[in-house]
Amino acid sequence: MKIDPIRRIEELRTIIQEHDYNYFVLANPIVSDFTYDQLLKELIELEKKYPEYLTPDSPTQRVGSDISNEFDSVNHKIPMLSLSNTYSEDELIDFDRRVRDFAGEATTPDYICELKIDGVSISLQYENGILKTAATRGDGIIGEDVTNNIKTIRSIPLSVNKKFLKEFGSFNFEVRGEVYMENEDFKKMNDERELNGEKLFANPRNSTAGTIKLLDSKIVAKRPIKAFMYYYYSEYTKIGSQLENLLMLKKLGFRINANYKHCKTINDVIVFCKEWEERRNEIPFEIDGVVIKVNSINLQQNLGSIAKSPRWAVAYKFKAKQASTLLKKITWQVGRTGTLTPVAELEPIFLAGSTISRATLHNFDEIKRKDIREGDSVVIEKGGDVIPKVVSVDVSKRNKNLTETELPIRCPTCGSKLFKPENEVAIYCDNNFCPDQIKGRLIHFASRGAMDIEGLGESLINLFTEMKFLKDFADIYDLKNKRNELIEIERLGEKSVDNLLNAIDKSKNQQFEKVLFSLGIRYVGSGAAKKLAEHFISIDNLISATKEEIEGIYEIGPSISSSIIRFFKSKDNLKLIERLKKAGLNFNTSIAKGVNKFNGKSFVLTGTLSILTRDEAKEKIIYFGGKVSSSVSKLTDYVVVGENPGSKLDKAVKLGLKILTEEEFIEMIK
């Protein structure tokens, strides 16, 4: 008997959807991975053969596509609010009092407590039961369209079970929830990244946020992100309470976190909060608190919201996670400007999603105040994404032989004598040629907000400085003459060397303000660099400027001006600038001055550009006084179209906007 392909396709979709639900929502798989893979493979092949039957809700659409994601803006139908925080029992009691006062004596409000998952919030729009759009929170009003990436999360139904349609009235609805990564998965992923020399994520939340904003959803599909949903909204479905809301989500096939509780009184709420503050380590993912929601939707609506947070819900935030460990050694790190920062080298310990082996000690005054000594047992803390810090010392465990920590006299790296300005807590290494300062300056120079040399990160800079390829910024631009030697380095190889050399070459297009910032002049941050570049137009003007002239610029004060004067007094620095000029870096803003040809004009970029990168195109537009916006509207002046443009092009055509090819755009920026 011949199988009808379309029926088989539909059948396979239903079966796979069912298996996804069992595995990812219920955590109760009923078939082996092998069987599952076979089914998926069969479906992929059938869809390849009959592409006309491919639908956006097919399970094959979860693997990610080759099309580079463009993050269009999405207007949230209902603003995505944030929660106000509470940190104590008293504040929870105040919250309850406010709700009660509002509700009046006749009503006794009850609450639903849910775990506050430490991830990234998302909003899903379903139309006719099919997932149409997934968006990030953004600023709460406008988010980014991350649909292709969210589709890779298997617990999120691409379409909901049609059998409930009658009961729900309509399948046009919105669902909100949290995307997150489990601690073990995060650790594994970071270990792999470390092995590959890639940048590590600080915690599971950061890595989730980074993942859902990746341009390539094929990579997203390989990352272990998960989701819990906590909110269902439809203007067609009447829901009486948050409890019903959660049950509704469950019924529709969404994954909800089972550790919620219906609390009749604020005391029950407090007990729940305390309980989970104690138990937070028992679950495989990070939670940073409890969310308390008024249960009655009616009362929720009456309470409404103030500014950015609702009056009907509040977050109870846990205290930062702490742990005790041994402080093995205090080392001193030399920064690019010579500042020495004490670092606690710790017996490694797992805390809040990652293993911690170092923590900052801020400065010497802090060490003295807390009397921190090598060999002490210390309490460390990690709150949110901040660098872990040493909170206190457990003096009861202190061995009598431990000696007080002393201020170093010489730089631990170069051995030169340190100095401590009278009014500052910091101590400095004053040797400009200190290897750590050199490394620090090079890292800053190549970093993203500066010359943005892709691939030239900390580990390569360490290697190149140790191998004496790099001593100063200008050496970076001489690396192209050492191509053969670089290829010989075991870790590198031809392809990565060429990529690096290309990235170095590309960095020569960075604007003057970026170049100025990259020089790493003390106190000259990106904002000051911009102001200086705009005012002085060229480096030569800045070099010959007096202290008074520099201070004449709005918001530029005496610390910045003295630092600039000191920097350009140095013959070495002037020589360095000459070499960078020869290498072809921009030391001039004059081309852009007075040529504000895009003044007030709004541009939208769509599709893949082949000559320029998106960032380059954006920079050029801004350079000439224009604006770049992410969505097309009547107010758009130009739409620059690359290969495989998205829906923005259709919209632009409909609105009759001016459309430019990449070549035409390049003509305009010459």
Residue 79 Cβ, how far from ligand IVH at the closest point, in Å?
9
- Nearer to ligand IVH by Cβ, of 81 and 576: the residue is 81
d(CA 4, CA 11): 11
Residue 20 Cβ, how far from ligand IVH at the closest point, in Å?
23
Site for ligand IVH in 330-389 (CB under 6 A): none
d(CA 75, CA 18): 32
| Residue 291 found at the interface with ligand IVH (CB under 6 A) | yes
Count of positions on this chain that bind ligand IVH (CB under 6 A): 14
Mark 420-439 with x for binding to ligand IVH (rule: CB under 6 A) and - for no binding: --------------------
d(CA 66, CA 45): 18
d(CA 422, CA 337): 17
For the chain, state the CA radius of gyration. Answer: 29
Token pair, residue 3, equals 């199988």
| Residue 121 found at the interface with ligand IVH (CB under 6 A) | yes
Residue 635 burial class via C-beta count within 10 angstroms: exposed 0-12, middle 13-18, buried 19 and up: exposed
Per CB under 6 A, the list member of 29, 310, 408, 412 interacting with ligand IVH is: 310
Token pair, residue 32, equals 């082996």
d(CA 363, CA 413): 18
- Nearer to ligand IVH by Cβ, of 83 and 450: the residue is 83
| Residue 134 found at the interface with ligand IVH (CB under 6 A) | no
| Residue 99 found at the interface with ligand IVH (CB under 6 A) | no
Mark 213-242 with x for binding to ligand IVH (rule: CB under 6 A) and - for no binding: -----------------x------------
The yes-or-no answer on residue 116 being catalytic is yes
Per CB under 6 A, the list member of 57, 70, 72, 114 interacting with ligand IVH is: 114
SS3 460: helix
The piece of 111-119, 243-251, 348-356, 533-541 that touches ligand IVH (CB under 6 A) is 111-119
d(CA 267, CA 281): 23
d(CA 475, CA 460): 14
| Residue 292 found at the interface with ligand IVH (CB under 6 A) | no
- Nearer to ligand IVH by Cβ, of 137 and 373: the residue is 137
The piece of 5-13, 109-117, 384-392, 412-420 that touches ligand IVH (CB under 6 A) is 109-117
Going by the DSSP 8-state scheme, the letter that residue 21 receives in this structure is I
Residue 243 Cβ, how far from ligand IVH at the closest point, in Å?
13
| Residue 81 found at the interface with ligand IVH (CB under 6 A) | yes
Parallel, antiparallel, or unpaired for β 658-661 and 638-641?
parallel
- Nearer to ligand IVH by Cβ, of 121 and 125: the residue is 121
The piece of 99-107, 115-123, 322-330, 622-630 that touches ligand IVH (CB under 6 A) is 115-123
Q: Is 133 left (phi over 0), alpha (psi -120 to 50) or beta?
A: beta
| Residue 117 found at the interface with ligand IVH (CB under 6 A) | yes
| Residue 273 found at the interface with ligand IVH (CB under 6 A) | no
Best CA proximity match to 561, nearest among 553, 572, 574, 550: 550
> Residues of 348-370 as b/e, b for ≥16 C-beta within 10 angstroms?
eeebbbbebeebbbbbbeebeeb
Q: What backbone phi and psi angles, to 5 degrees, belong to 469? A: -75, -30
d(CA 108, CA 481): 78
Token pair, residue 21, equals 């639900």
**268 and 87 Cβ atoms separated by less than 8 Å:** no
Site for ligand IVH in 14-53 (CB under 6 A): none
The piece of 8-16, 75-83, 367-375, 631-639 that touches ligand IVH (CB under 6 A) is 75-83
Q: Which amino acid is it at 339?
A: T
Residue 180 Cβ, how far from ligand IVH at the closest point, in Å?
9
- Nearer to ligand IVH by Cβ, of 160 and 227: the residue is 227
| Residue 174 found at the interface with ligand IVH (CB under 6 A) | no
Per CB under 6 A, the list member of 22, 68, 82, 337 interacting with ligand IVH is: 82
Q: Which of 41, 116, 132, 658 is catalytic?
A: 116
- Nearer to ligand IVH by Cβ, of 314 and 434: the residue is 314
In sign, the C-alpha dihedral spanning 180, 230, 147, 66 is positive
Residue nearest to ligand IVH (CB): 121
**382 and 214 Cβ atoms separated by less than 8 Å:** no
| Residue 178 found at the interface with ligand IVH (CB under 6 A) | yes
- Nearer to ligand IVH by Cβ, of 302 and 573: the residue is 302
| Residue 313 found at the interface with ligand IVH (CB under 6 A) | yes
Residue 287 Cβ, how far from ligand IVH at the closest point, in Å?
8
Q: Give the C-alpha distances (Å, rounded to integers) separating 609 from 11, 410, 512, 617, 628.
A: 41, 52, 24, 9, 15
Residue 120 Cβ, how far from ligand IVH at the closest point, in Å?
7
Residue appearing with tokens 């541009």: 603
**330 and 372 Cβ atoms separated by less than 8 Å:** yes
d(CA 243, CA 262): 7
Residue 233 Cβ, how far from ligand IVH at the closest point, in Å?
11
Binding interface with ligand IVH (CB under 6 A): 81-83, 114, 116-117, 121, 137, 178, 230, 291, 310, 313, 315
Point out the residues that are catalytic.
Answer: 116
